[in-house]
Structure 1
Amino acid sequence: MKKILILANNDVGLFKFRKELIEELVKQYEVYISLPYGDLIPKLEELGCKFIDTPISRRGTNPLTDIKLFLNYRSIIKEIGPDVVLTYTIKPNIYGGMASRMIAVPYIANITGLGTAVENGSILQRITLFLYKISLETAKCVFFQNKENQDFITDKIAISNHRLIPGSGVNLERYSIMDYPSGEIVNFLFIARIMKEKGIDQYLEAAEYIRKKYTNTAFHILGYCEDAYEDILKELQDKGIVQYHGMQSDVRKFHVNSHCTIHPTYYPEGMSNVLLESAACGRPMITTNRAGCREIIEDGKNGYFIEQKNSQDLVEKIEKFLKLDNKTKKQMGISARKKMENEFDRKIVVQSYKEEIEKAMR
């Protein structure tokens, strides 16, 4: 059998967003996965993957650590001899791409977001773009998850073959449309890592204002909490302003009672999976008007846009949503689901990969 090697930086993203692709690939190929060990590795092995434990400093900028990762990738590729390498996220894209290029192995990269280093325009941006130039120029295909990222990179780097895909897509069977909740309490849902760039400050500020003015509201939070926010969440929960439910492996049970997902992120992501899953469940959304979010929202039809880092704008959109009757809110959710069915089915992503893998192996 021919071999495929997948380079990624964590098990959660690989299992949650690439599972359907892996299920297709293992039918035809030997599939190896190189990433740090995590709780979902056994599930990936159950799918038929062969696991290679590969440490990655995801946010670190130590050049010695990154050189070590490059050498590790080069050693893994030489040992396995894959017919195609698939890479996801910045470091696997860069160092896995460079290693594949050096050994002359076909590879396909996925730009899952530009990252803060590129977006902020610092010296890190110039370094990252230089490394991307080395790693992406000879890729058999580069997948982009939004057009803004695609235009930005292809304007600076000559890439022979690139395609726009609808993010990671969404599994429309797993995230099926749910009955829209009734009842007096209007539940809002924030799902993300509890960190500044995900807009948690704006969510908390809006929750504090809205809860005082509208007692029939509830603000829920799901996600891993970074140290800086632990005390803040505890204090606001004790005051009855928010309800923090911690990290959840399955968010669907929270969508059942939710009326609206609020995602005030300004993190440079490729396409928001939080919004894709919420929309697939038939839930309206309030989110930032930026790449990775704006592709999912039709303002006023399935949700509302807000300006990034603007708590007042978020308050105003929440109040606008609260003034809608339940029938209109439900219709927004139905519109969100239809958009997922028409444009964001994960099967589109899987088919795109299968086509490019076949081309790369010719």
Structure 2
Amino acid sequence: MKIIITSNTCWYIYNFRSRLIKFLIKEGWAVHIIAPQDKYAVKLEEIGAICHFIRLSRFKKSILSDFYYLIRLFLYFVKIKPTAIHNFTIKPVIYGSVASKFFKKIKIVNSIPGLGISFKSDNRKKVMSRFILFLYRIAIKKKHKVIFQNPDDMSFFIDNKISSQSNSYLIKGSGVDLAKFSKVLDNSNLDKVRFGMMCRMLKSKGAEDFIEASKIVFKKNPKTKFYLLGSPDLNSPDSLSIEWLRELNNSEHIEWRPHSDDVVDFLDNIDVFVLPTYYPEGLPKSLLEAASMSLPLISTRVSGCKEIVKNNFNGLFVNTQDRIDLADKMYDLSINSDKRIEMGRNGRILVEKEYSDKSVNDRTFKLYLK
């Protein structure tokens, strides 16, 4: 049995689906990756995947380059002859679905890991978002299985007649390795309460809001420290500049570190996890990993986040793009250790119950056979 997994980066597949790949290989499947080459290709090959590299621009709008990508996908499908194809991220979902139309017996699974910035509520009437919807309608067929990470995205696709109730499946996130992401939270005797945020350094992820709110909190409570983990996405117009991020390290209260694969170490050395995003998320893996590490959460009510954060149970909601509200919520947790510990414990229980990677991988695997 062979499966093809497509994505716009090897990084995405390794970061979000490496446990699925290991699961499939253990089940006796040959796993073929089709994605642009980056440094994570080696890591994918180390866990047993077979990589095929292909050019794809995530943001560039070029009919010629996209057509070239479509043809290359088709040729790989012919050569590999897979049992199933699983497409991730916008362009691979669209073009992978189109290229697969000539292969009647192949099982096609498309994962929608979030609508992305083009589908923010104030952008939905823009030409680009309408065009993407048009492409989705052309590409996704009734026989395709479509996986959503949150119910809002699933309803949006069904309401816009891209998918239907019969071929839409809700599988929450990519799952968490419960053994790896585990710690006992005891921060009752801390010298400083440490707040952390990890993500791509994008404005729409709330990184700028976190930075500005941290200044307010630090003035009110100097026994606080703030950490950012993640690199800017220089291909995105929404990215923070690396020069500005480096300047943060000259501040007394906040530190920035570029992306690291060792997120366990980062989470193990903070006391509250913050993600004030207004980006249309699928189901943020960072929130799940932080909750699994028994950390209280502060996030917004956007799709994906509101599925993980339960207000006053395992975290606190903040208004989107509201630095004052964010500062108030961070200050509240900075002075209440009992509240932090209780929320952290509740978050761990929630992840154990609903978000283990074993459960996610089992449900995904069944769709390849269905």
Fold-level match, TM-score > 0.5? yes
The gaps in structure 1 that reach 5 residues or longer are none
Task: Check conservation: 1:118, 1:124, Cα contact below 8 A.
Answer: no
Determine the structure 1 residue equivalent to 2:88.
Answer: 88
After superposition, what is the alpha-carbon deviation per residue over 1:108-166, rounded to whole angstroms, capped at 9, x for unaligned?
00000111223321111111111111222244311000000000001112434111011
After superposition, what is the alpha-carbon deviation per residue over 1:235-289, rounded to whole angstroms, capped at 9, x for unaligned?
3321313111222111111222211011011111201111000000000010111
- For residues 161-310 of structure 1, what are the structure 2 equivalents within 5 Å? 161-181=167-187, 182-226=189-233, 228-310=240-322
Task: Check conservation: 1:118, 1:129, Cα contact below 8 A.
Answer: no
Q: What is the CA distance between 1:180 and its match in structure 2?
A: 2.9
Residues 1:344 and 2:348 are matched in the alignment = no
Task: Check conservation: 2:10, 2:40, Cα contact below 8 A.
Answer: yes
Amino acid at match of 1:347: K
Cα distance in 1 for partners of 2:119, 2:66 equals 17
Q: What is the CA distance between 1:183 and its match in structure 2?
A: 1.3
Q: Secondary structure at the match of 2:114?
A: coil
Task: Check conservation: 2:313, 2:343, Cα contact below 8 A.
Answer: yes
Cα distance in 1 for partners of 2:15, 2:200 equals 15
Determine the structure 1 residue equivalent to 2:75.
Answer: 75
Amino acid at match of 2:15: K
Task: Check conservation: 1:179, 1:256, Cα contact below 8 A.
Answer: no
Task: Check conservation: 1:301, 1:335, Cα contact below 8 A.
Answer: yes
Determine the structure 1 residue equivalent to 2:103.
Answer: 103
Structure 1 runs of 4+ off > 4 angstroms?
none
Cα distance in 1 for partners of 2:243, 2:41 equals 32
What TM-score, normalized to structure 2? 0.92
Determine the structure 2 residue equivalent to 1:136.
Answer: 140
Cα distance in 2 for partners of 1:273, 1:250 equals 14
Structure 1 residues 337 and 344: CA distance shift in structure 2, 3 A: same
Q: Which deviates more from structure 2 when the two are superposed, residues 34-43 or residues 182-191?
A: 34-43
Cα distance in 2 for partners of 1:19, 1:139 equals 26
Cα distance in 2 for partners of 1:39, 1:139 equals 35
Residues 1:320 and 2:315 are matched in the alignment = no
What TM-score, normalized to structure 1? 0.94
Amino acid at match of 1:318: M
After superposition, what is the alpha-carbon deviation per residue over 1:302-334, rounded to whole angstroms, capped at 9, x for unaligned?
11001111111101111221231x233111101
The gaps in structure 2 that reach 5 residues or longer are 235-239
Percent identity, please: 31
Q: Secondary structure at the match of 2:135?
A: helix
Structure 1 residues 15 and 178: CA distance shift in structure 2, 3 A: farther
Determine the structure 2 residue equivalent to 1:38.
Answer: 38
Q: Secondary structure at the match of 1:58?
A: coil
Task: Check conservation: 2:6, 2:33, Cα contact below 8 A.
Answer: yes
Amino acid at match of 2:89: T
Q: What is the CA distance between 1:178 and its match in structure 2?
A: 3.4
Structure 1 residues 345 and 98: CA distance shift in structure 2, 3 A: same
Amino acid at match of 2:276: P
Task: Check conservation: 1:195, 1:229, Cα contact below 8 A.
Answer: no
Q: What is the CA distance between 1:4 and its match in structure 2?
A: 0.9
